[in-house]
Amino acid sequence: MPPFHHPCFLMPLAVLVLSEIGNSHGHVGLAAAASSLSSDTRTTFQLTSGSSIPLLGTGIGNLPHEEITQVIHNQLEAGVRLIDTAHASNNEHLLAEAVASYDAHAGAGLDPIHVVTKVWYTHLGYERTKISVEESLANLQFSSIGSHRQIFVHMLLHWPRCNDDIPWMNCEEEEMNLPQRIKDAGPPPHLNKENAFIDSWKALEDIFQQHQDILETTKGSNSPLIASIGVSNFDLDDMKRLLQTARIPPHIYQGNAWAVFHDPFLMNYLRDHGIFFQAYAVMTGILKGRNASSTSYNTLSRTSRELHATIYAENEGAVITEATVVLAYFIRHNIGVVPRAASSAHQRENSINAVHSVFPHLTETQIENLHLAIPALMKDDSNDKPPVVSVSFMNSLTSPIQVHWIQPETEKEILVSQVIHPGSVDVHGSHPGHRFVAYDPDRTVRKEFVVDAKYGESQHFYVEL
């Protein structure tokens, strides 16, 4: 594993996190990636629910409604079998209609479709969540509009709570605008922000168990069946609270791709509990970081051009771009991705065939370059990721140091900064109350630090004698 070199001091941490994700599921780590790429035909991931989910999908949550039918037709034609949306997007019924119209035109389309959809924070609480789930399942009833394709639903809690600190959230106004039947079903969740999502999870557990019983007794159904349950945009503390009371742990965590590289505490926790990570905002993060890290973007572009030339020589219809390479990188490490692609050109770049054509041709040098370039591009902040405290460690010693995170429950020290050279700084996303310890190579110096900054703030630590 390479040492830290400013300004890319976060890179080895990203390699460590991705390696541990792969190893935790019985797959090869990064050290063996090059030797195994030629045999990698992985398209799905086995969840702890017992169901599989495609690693590559497409997101339609924010698409204009008039574009949805054509986008879904194009994606189905390209082999995509996973579609990501949300109840709040008000397009689940359009998704179902688009699949049905495609099936009618194609004549037969019996491969199951997987849909990730979500319960909005206005519907947190046991009874409100049940209503949201029932509405989503009714919207996704393909058989009622002419398609007999099986649909597997992965139902998530979209957010743990409404948060007025996020500019586009307005808790009281959104509550006031709800239909009366939703208000009557349960108390306003914004008045019970710490516990409403716990009650929602109990509802998801009960509904999931009911659907598992259907699967076991009927071996299938023409109605949408919930194949897994999960959460989105939860921070580490929320995850810990949830798992303290959960009868069924989440099968899926959907979050900003930024977290894969820059929130090791969350990623380690998900790995330790067998929770699959599905990333959104993959290409948004890359494009935001393009100007801030032009060297890394040039590395990514050069790699995509090299791969395109190689693959095009075998298949003149191939299109390999930066997006194709980034998606392949995530999928190769068992990270699910749901990019949004409205244009037909982007849909070709994001297609299963394009992404999987990359695997056999990646060289060890290209892999190592991507290990450095992609995390560097993903360093840009995003309003969509859960709040964190930005903590930095300045090495004021004359020798290199390592920094470990102290896991609260076990006191185990987990390496997060492999090497910080004298005079260099390393930055991590953390949480209030977390503890770190720094060592010199001989472990003659030991310095412990406690994060006492609030979410959204920064805290700087000096490692000195």
d(CA 156, CA 158): 6
SS3 232: strand
SS3 340: coil
Tens-digit pLDDT profile for residues 240-267:
999 999 999 999 999 999 999 888 889 9
User: What is the structure's pLDDT at 155?
Assistant: 99
The pLDDT of residue 39 is above 60: no
pLDDT bin (cut points 50, 70, 90) of residue 169 is: very high
User: How many CB atoms lie under 10 A from the CB of residue 73?
Assistant: 16
- Going along the chain from its start, the domains and CATH numbers come out as 36-361 (3.20.20.100), 389-463 (2.60.40.780)
Choice among 27-36, 57-66, 161-170, 426-435 with the minimum mean pLDDT: 27-36
User: What is the structure's pLDDT at 294?
Assistant: 83
Choice among 1-15, 109-123, 153-167, 395-409 with the minimum mean pLDDT: 1-15
Total residues belonging to the chain: 465
d(CA 221, CA 182): 29
User: What is the structure's pLDDT at 313?
Assistant: 83
d(CA 412, CA 406): 6
pLDDT bin (cut points 50, 70, 90) of residue 2 is: very low
> In this structure, which amino acid lies at residue 435?
R
∠ CA 123-155-431, rounded to 5°: 75
Question: In terms of Cα–Cα distance, which of 427, 419, 428, 425 is closest to 399?
Answer: 419
Choice among 4-18, 180-194, 252-266, 351-365 with the minimum mean pLDDT: 4-18
Element (H, E) at 24: helix 11-24
d(CA 77, CA 394): 52
Beta bridge partners of 389: 430
d(CA 38, CA 34): 8
d(CA 252, CA 232): 8
Q: What does pTM read for this prediction?
A: 0.77
pLDDT bin (cut points 50, 70, 90) of residue 146 is: low
